[in-house]
A and B are shown apart, each in its own frame.
Chain A
Amino acid sequence: MLSSLDQWIGRLLSEPRSTDGPRGEVRAVESLPATSAAAWKVSAPLGKRLANAARPYPFIVPKLVFFAGFMLIPLAWTVYMTFQGGAILQGTHFVGTKNYQVMLQDPLFWLSLRNSVLYAVLVIPLAMAGGVFLATLLNRRIKLRPVFLLILVVPAVVSTVAAAYIWSNMLATDGGFFNTLLQALGRHPVNWLGTPSLLIPIFVALELWRGTGFYAMLFLAAMHNIPQELYDAIAIDGAGSFQSFRLVTLPLMRPVILFATVMATIWNLQIFDSPYVMTRGGPGYASMTIVMYIYYNAFKYDAMGLASAMSLVLLLLILAAAALQLTIFKKEVQF
């Protein structure tokens, strides 16, 4: 009896056990009557109690310092700057909502926003569908699975800058891969990067080439974790492979697909690298994206307030898209 109390106190003096169970559940304390817990609290020396309370902080403080300095403070600063006019060097002054008004009347803002959204709306469903499709193929009983997987994932380690150069090469008007192919088929060569309507589809194709294999790898990992019993059960009920895919695989993969969709939305709405390398936003401003326009406003046009306002619009857009995806996925769960 005494020894168990001793052990219990020893445990309390070191840090409390984590509560992995439901929130608020305190396993260590529950194992003893409440009165003795209260009695200990009163009798423990104040210094010891403080040392105990301070123990987690050396572990989280380093992260929190960087997080506050380079995430929270910049975020607040950006919100503040949306109400400021003037340039960095000349000093700034309060201008009310003028930046927002200028932004809303700026046709280039709308064009670049449209380009980014159009790109994301095209890339995300295609990448997810492609990833699920390839994962399904890889999940079948096949030989050389690791080799196939490796080859499919390799483009994901190619940076977008490198990928943009690769594709610029293949899309070159004179002697590029695609035009050589077209000419072999007896067609006229196309000025790929000079045709505004082709640019977004080109960026989409580039990203699908780069990203689909990565999503396939992610989804394949999730498929491995689906219990075989579920497939056995539904096979007994006479379901074919398409049925078992629709009724078992897809519903059980919903969380990972949702996760991938949300992350892909965050990344892809920030498209910058491929248009920056391939077209610098041109011809004219045809392939300007919202991140590139923010970058130009902040560092080339010296319009900090405007850039800040636009970056907040991008943040709101990402939050709205994520909320929308969560709602849709939740709704689909309850059929």
Chain B
Amino acid sequence: MVARSAGRREPAGIPRRAASAAKDVFTYAGLIAACIISLAPLVYLLATSLTKTFSPVADLSVLLHPNFSNYGEIWSAYPFAAWLKNSLIVATSVTVLSLFVDSLAGYAFAKMRFRGREFLFLVLLATIMIPVPVTLLPTYLIADHFGMLDTYQALIVPALAYPVGVFLMRQFIRTIPDELLDAARVDGMSAWGIYLRIILPLSIPGLAVLALFVFLTQWVSLLWPLTVAISDSTRTVQAGLASLPGQYNTQYGLITAATICSVLPMLVVFLFLQRYLTAGLTGGRAGKG
């Protein structure tokens, strides 16, 4: 991808070169400014979390003599460990189950022919437009009916209805050559064998993108956990943080430390799966950049 702009270069006179240098300055200046805007709130957050104070700080010198006591106190000040555990259990469960259910359906939609396939797929796809509040109340009543309120199941199961994963997996599995599946079939492999031994291994980049997407969506989700996770035994990090009553909002050091701890797991997952994301977005051509 570096070759792209190199190919556009042409023998140019001095004015051209000067113009190009000016453009470079503009490019770097723009990117650096954007990066500062991107990072400044996070640095500010970090600085506040390292201060033992009840007011926010604008003084970055605290980074030189940090006070980590907030990071020790959040575990006793809030049920933070429980929230973190709940978030991890819910996000991981939804991710694993979605990968399974969506890759199964994606395989069927991509590589099998059956009556009503196009129609069914269109219905699935159209429901991407349905906003969460539309299904919120009935889903709550269904969860209540089955005694699932304030359980992990209530947080996990409804998330499996979301259609985006099927769409993503179908797009990805379509790029697997039919010849490969035919050859496996001639060798007597069953549809399940093909799914396990051909579709899944070849879909790993697609599965990684889906995993990142589902985990992130679950980790940051607020409205549904706020509705069904009533006690701290199921409350997720986001719901927990968002429910803190106003009195905590002035304990800036504590709350910023908690905020950072809520972001870190996501950051780790993102850094871990990031290279797949770039590959997935560029249509499977991995390894660049």
Contacts and interface: CB of A to CB of B under 8 A. Distances in A.
Interface string A123-143: 000000000011001111110
Interface string B118-147: 101000100111111111111111100000
Contacts, number: 307
Interface string A263-274: 000100110110
Q: Is the interface of A mostly helix, strand, loop or mixed?
A: helix
Q: Number of contact residues on A: which range applies?
A: 35 or more
A72 B268 CA distance: 35
Contact of B118 (A23, A60, A151, A152): A23
Interface string B12-52: 00000000000110011011001101110110110010000
Contact of A272 (B120, B142, B222): B222
Interface in A1-58: 7, 10-11, 14-20, 23, 53, 55-58
B227 interface: yes
Interface string B143-163: 000000000000001101111
B133 A175 contact: no
A312 B139 CA distance: 15
B7 to A, nearest CB: 6
Nearest to A221: B281
Contacts of B80: none
A197 B101 CA distance: 46
B129 A322 contact: yes
B195 interface: yes
A221 B288 CA distance: 11
Contacts of B160: 63, 66, 70
A294 interface: yes
Contacts of B35: 148, 151-152
A298 interface: yes
Interface string A174-207: 1111001100000000000000000000000000
Contact of B107 (A59, A235, A307): A59
B238 A159 contact: yes
- The 7 A-B pairs of least Cβ separation, nearest first, read A74-B138, A159-B220, A221-B281, A70-B161, A74-B135, A59-B108, A77-B138
Interface of B: 1-8, 10, 23-24, 27-28, 30-31, 34-35, 37-39, 41-42, 44-45, 48, 55-58, 100-102, 104-105, 107-114, 117-118, 120, 124, 127-142, 157-158, 160-163, 166, 174, 178, 181-182, 185-186, 191, 195, 216, 219-220, 222-223, 226-227, 238, 241-242, 249, 252, 255-256, 259, 262-263, 266-267, 270, 274, 277-278, 281-283, 288-289
